[in-house]
Amino acid sequence: MIEEKNDEVQYDEAFLRMLLDEENIESFREHFLVLHPYDQAQFYEEVGPDIRQIIYRYLSPQEMAIIFETTEIEDDEYKTYLDEMDPSYGAAMFGFMYTDNAVDILNELDTEQRENYLEMMDEETVDEINELLGYEEYTAGAIMTTEYVSVVESATVREAMRVLRQEAQTAETIYYIFVVDQAHRLLGVMSLRELIVAEGDLYIRDIMSERVVSVKITDDQENVANLIKDYDLLAIPVVNENRELQGIITVDDIIDVIEEEAEDDYSKLAGIADMDDNDAGPLRAAGKRLPWLIILLFLGMLTSGLMGIFEATLDKVALLATFIPLISGTSGNSGTQALAVAVRGIATGDIGGKSKFRLIVRELSTGLIMGIVSGAIVVGIIFFWKGTLMIGLLVGAAICCSIIVATLAGSFIPILMHKLGVDPAVASGPFITTLNDVTSIIIYLGLATTFISRIL
C-alpha cells in the first residue's frame, strides 16, 4: 500500500507484487508511477525476470528509460536485463534516455548487439550517440551530454527565454545557460536566476559572465571531477580545440566518475585487478586476485633470497632473526601511510608542481622523526627484555633507517609514476610493502654483517 510519510511517498513491495500477479495494470501504474525514480529502480532490480516481463508490458519505453537511468545495475549486467526486453522496446527506451546515459550502457554491449539497437533508432539520435561513442573512454567527451541550453550573445533576454522554454524539456540541466557566438564558440555563461531577473530588452552579451570554466574533449574525467569540485559547479561545458561548445558534463555524472575512480584506486591499492562484485562466484573472484597475488609471490621470493645471502650472519647470531618481522612490518606500515597521503593528494589535485617537492621533503622529515622515536623505543625494550645493548642499538638503527626509506619511497614512487603518465594507484600497498620488506632486510642484515664482531 502506498503511504505518504514526511511528504515522501513510501511503497510496499509486496503490494506492488500483488498488483502485478493480479495483472491489475491500472492500479499498478497508479501506485508505481508516483514513486520516486530511485524507488522504482530499486523495485525493478529486486524482482525477478518473470515479474520484469510484466513491468515491460505495463510501462512505456519512456517510463522505462527513467528507471534504467536510475538503476545501480553493474556494468556487466546490462546485457542480461536488455535481453529480457523486446529489441524494439529497448531501442525505443534508449531514444528517450539522455544521450550520455544511453552511450554509457551501449558501451557495455558487444558490437553486434549495439549495432542492432542503433539500426532501430531514428537518424538524429544515432548521430548523437555515434558522436559520443567515438570519444576515448574516461575522457570528458565520453561522459558529456549534448542536451544543454545555449543562446547566441546577440540575443535579447526575451529571445533567450523563448529558447529556454523550447529546450527545457530535453535539456539535462537548465540552471546554466551557455553563451556562444555565431560559430558556436563558447563566450560565457549565465545562471537561470540571472536570466529570469534581467530586463527583457537587454542583450545577453551585456549580462553574461565571461569567466566561464571549461574543459576540452580530451581531458581526463578525473581532472574534470576535480574542477567541478573545486569550483562548486552544477555543470561544466566541454569545448574542442577551436573552443566550439560540444556538450556539458553535469554533477550527477561526475558523482559516478568519483565513485568509479575511488573503486579503481582502492582496487589497485589492494592489489586487485577490479573491485570484486559481491555476487561474483569464487572462481571469478579468484581470477581477478590471482594475477596480482602471483606477481607479489615472486617478489616475495626475492625477500627469501636475501635471507639466504645473510645466512652466515643469522647462523652466528640466531637472535637477529627474531626481529625481522618487526622491522619489515614497521617499515611496511610507514610506507603505506606515505603512499596513501601521496595517492590521495594526486587524485584530488592538491599535489602539483612545487607542492610535490614539498610533500617529499615533508614526508622525509616525518619519516626521520618517526624513525628516531621508534628506534629509541625499540632500543629500550630490547635492552630491558634481552639484556643486550648492542642488538638493541642494531635493531633500533635498522628500524630508524627502514622507516625513513619506506616513507620516502611511499611518497616518491606514486609522484614519479604520475609524472611518467602512469596511474599512481598502481604503486599499490602490496608493492610498496614488498619493496620495503626487501630494503628493510638489506638494511638490517647489512648492518648486522658490518658490526657482527661487536655483537658477538
**28 and 20 in contact (C-beta within 8 Å)?**
yes
CATH of domain 150-251: 3.10.580.10
Grid coordinates in use for 54? 510484466
Which residue type does 87 have? P
Q: Which amino acid is at 174?
A: I
What's the first-to-final CA gap in the chain, in angstroms? Answer: 83
The answer to whether the predicted template modeling score (pTM) of the entire model surpasses 0.75 is no
Helix (H/G/I), strand (E/B), else coil: 12: coil
The pLDDT of residue 3 is: 46
Which pLDDT score is estimated for 7? 47
Q: Is 404 exposed, middle or buried (0-12, 13-18, 19+ CB in 10 A)?
A: buried
Distance CA 424, CA 406 (A): 16
> How confident is the model at residue 438, as a pLDDT?
84
pLDDT tens string 32-41: 999 999 999 9
The CB-side HSE value for 164 (13 A sphere, CA atoms) comes to 20
The CATH classification number of 3-135 equals 1.25.60.10
Between CA 41 and CA 405 the distance in angstroms is 51
Please report, for the chain, the start and end positions of each structural domain, with discontinuous segments joined by +: 3-135, 150-251, 282-455
Q: Which amino acid is at 152?
A: V
DSSP secondary structure string for all residues of 178-215? EEE-TT-BEEEEEEHHHHHHS-TTSBHHHHSBS----E
pLDDT tens readout for residues 129-140: 998 998 998 899
Q: Which cell goes with 51?
A: 515479474
Q: Rounded CA gap, 246 and 234, in Å? A: 17
Mean pLDDT by 10 residues, the chain (456 residues): 47 87 92 93 93 95 94 87 95 94 91 94 92 90 94 96 93 95 97 95 96 95 89 95 96 83 61 52 66 68 71 74 86 84 74 77 93 94 88 92 92 82 63 80 88 71
282-455 — its CATH code? 1.10.357.20
For every residue of 224-237, which 3-state class applies, written as one string? HHHHHHHHCCCEEE
